[in-house]
């Protein structure tokens, strides 16, 4: 079971709202840092262990800078994310740049920054070489294990996913790269999304470690590091349990020792978690502004799926707290909706909650990853501000809300 709490009282959030109107996302600095430290501590046994935060989860340089203070790097997949990392003072091999149908100018920017280039296809070797005029000293390749692993609705089954190289392509890619003068080699995969079974990641680790061992035996190439990707889930529902970092670490350690103690070399282990680092510690704060009584009971908010699209996109569950009514009985069933001209613009369907009245403050949990980041402007909806609840209790705005001027700035009329 997972207890769903908010890091502020009704009175505290009311004061915040006086300065920063709803809707907004607010992130708990202390909880994020404590969680990240616990993750790093769990893998102290692994020499050179590194976490690269998945920028796509929460692309705000204020948060990236906080994590960089712990030695955490940035996992980037676009030129915008490279610039965000740069804003946060993250450069060089503290950046993993994972290609995905990437244009040449983005590879050039990544190379200029000294990022680790993680190629998504064997044909990208030639493309990268033409784009840069040379190949970097270090190359990493993303493995797609195909039928060896299952998937889910978010990331898809590996066999049907557009990402990564096959096993034989991996072997060939390292041989080609070595022949072209590449000196350092690494391996990566990413086959999970929001997975709560730690055994799943142990299975993935075994597959990658064994592949690295087989490549070493066939080519003599030693992997400098093996990036196990991300995909560790969070308990969106109260009845779910989180993955404990120590449990995950113990499983990975056993898989590592089983392979590399026999092989005689010790590649570093990297991860690129996003959701699991920040997800539980973000909250969408909004207000009830309408009620509707037709075939169902509706509560309309001043937020909409432009602020949080996961429920509409995946049917995802996000816990809801009605501030001041945390201990009230959940005797009313509502659809909680937004103002977008789409019927799936709902944060909850047939959700039992305390009686909601106009003006009530509604807090939607677990928006610290893939919340604000997935925002959009359909219907001309403006993206909300982002706030950081500091460790001393103060609040800092780390992104202002969009204005109509922002929205129209690109128009030529």
pLDDT of residue 99: 82
pLDDT of residue 149: 52
Q: Where does the pLDDT of residue 281 fall: very low under 50, low under 70, confident under 90, or very high at 90 and above? A: very high
- Do 279-408 and 43-273 have the same topology in CATH? no
How many C-beta neighbours within 10 Å does residue 41 have? 11
The DSSP string of 214-265 is HHHHHH-PPEEEEE----B----STT--PPPHHHHHHHHHHHHHHHHHHHS-
Q: How far is CA 294 from each of CA 52, 291, 335, 354, 355, rounded to the nearest angstrom? A: 49, 10, 11, 19, 17
Q: Where does the pLDDT of residue 150 fall: very low under 50, low under 70, confident under 90, or very high at 90 and above? A: low
Asked if residue 154 has pLDDT above 80, the reply is no
How high does pLDDT run on average in the chain?
96
Task: HSE, CB side, 13 Å, CA atoms: give it for residue 278.
Answer: 32
CATH of 43-273, one of 3.40.800.10, 3.40.50.300, 3.20.20.10, 3.60.20.40: 3.20.20.10
How many C-beta neighbours within 10 Å does residue 142 have? 24
Whether the CB-CB separation of 276 and 243 falls below 8 Å is answered with yes
pLDDT of residue 159: 72
The residues, any chain, with a CB within 8 Å of residue 223's CB and separated by 6 or more, are 185, 186, 187, 212, 215, 216, 267
Asked if residue 155 has pLDDT above 60, the reply is no
Average pLDDT over residues 92-105: 95
Residue with tokens 């995946």: 314
Asked if residue 69 has pLDDT above 70, the reply is yes
pTM as predicted: 0.96
Asked if residue 389 has pLDDT above 90, the reply is yes
pLDDT of residue 162: 80
Please write the tens of the pLDDT for every residue from 160-219: 678 999 999 999 999 999 999 999 999 999 998 999 999 999 999 999 999 999 999 999
Q: Where does the pLDDT of residue 152 fall: very low under 50, low under 70, confident under 90, or very high at 90 and above? A: low
Spell out the domain ranges in the chain: 43-273, 279-408
Q: How far apart are CA 336 and CA 403, in angstroms?
A: 25
Catalytically active residues are 341
- Helix and strand numbers, DSSP H then E, in the chain: 12, 17
CATH of 279-408, one of 3.20.20.150, 2.40.50.140, 2.40.37.10, 3.20.20.80: 2.40.37.10
Report which secondary-structure segment, H or E, holds 378.
none
Counting residues of the chain whose pLDDT is more than 90, the rounded percentage is 94
């Amino acid at each position: 079971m997972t207890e769903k709490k908010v890091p502020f009282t009704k009175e505290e959030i009311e004061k915040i709202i006086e300065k920063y109107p709803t809707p907004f996302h607010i992130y708990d600095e202390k909880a994020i840092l404590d969680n990240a430290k616990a993750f790093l501590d769990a893998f102290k046994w692994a020499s050179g262990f590194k976490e690269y935060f998945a920028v796509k989860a929460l692309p705000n340089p204020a948060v990236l800078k906080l994590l960089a203070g712990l030695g955490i790097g940035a996992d980037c997949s676009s030129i915008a994310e490279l610039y965000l990392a740069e804003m946060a003072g993250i450069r060089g091999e503290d950046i993993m740049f994972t290609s995905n149908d990437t244009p040449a100018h983005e590879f050039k920017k990544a190379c200029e920054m000294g990022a680790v280039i993680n190629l998504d296809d064997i044909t990208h070797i030639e493309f990268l070489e033409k784009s840069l005029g040379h190949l970097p000293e270090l190359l990493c390749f993303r493995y797609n294990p195909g039928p060896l692993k299952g998937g889910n609705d978010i990331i898809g089954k590996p066999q049907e996913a557009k990402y990564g190289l096959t096993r034989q392509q991996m072997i060939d890619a390292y041989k080609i790269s070595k022949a072209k003068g590449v000196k350092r080699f690494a391996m990566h995969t990413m086959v999970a999304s929001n997975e709560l079974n730690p055994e799943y990641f142990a299975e993935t680790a075994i597959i990658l470690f064994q592949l690295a061992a087989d490549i070493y035996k066939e080519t003599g190439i030693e992997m400098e590091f093996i990036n196990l990707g991300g995909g560790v889930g969070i308990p969106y529902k109260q009845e779910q349990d989180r993955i404990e970092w120590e449990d995950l670490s113990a499983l990975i350690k056993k898989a590592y020792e089983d392979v590399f103690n026999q092989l005689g070399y010790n590649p570093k282990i990297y991860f690129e978690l996003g959701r699991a680092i920040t997800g539980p510690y973000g909250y969408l704060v909004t207000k009830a502004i309408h009620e509707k009584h037709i075939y169902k009971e509706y509560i309309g908010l001043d937020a909409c799926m432009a602020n949080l699209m996961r429920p509409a996109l995946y049917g995802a569950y996000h816990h809801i707290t009605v501030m001041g009514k945390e201990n009230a009985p959940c005797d009313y069933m509502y659809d909680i909706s937004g103002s977008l001209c789409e019927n799936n613009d709902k944060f909850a369907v047939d959700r039992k909650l305390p009686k909601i009245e106009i003006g009530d403050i509604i807090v939607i949990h677990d928006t610290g990853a893939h919340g604000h980041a997935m925002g959009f402007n359909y219907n001309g909806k403006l993206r909300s501000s982002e706030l950081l609840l500091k460790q001393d209790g103060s609040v800092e705005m780390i992104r202002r809300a969009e204005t109509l001027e922002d929205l129209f700035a690109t128009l030529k009329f």
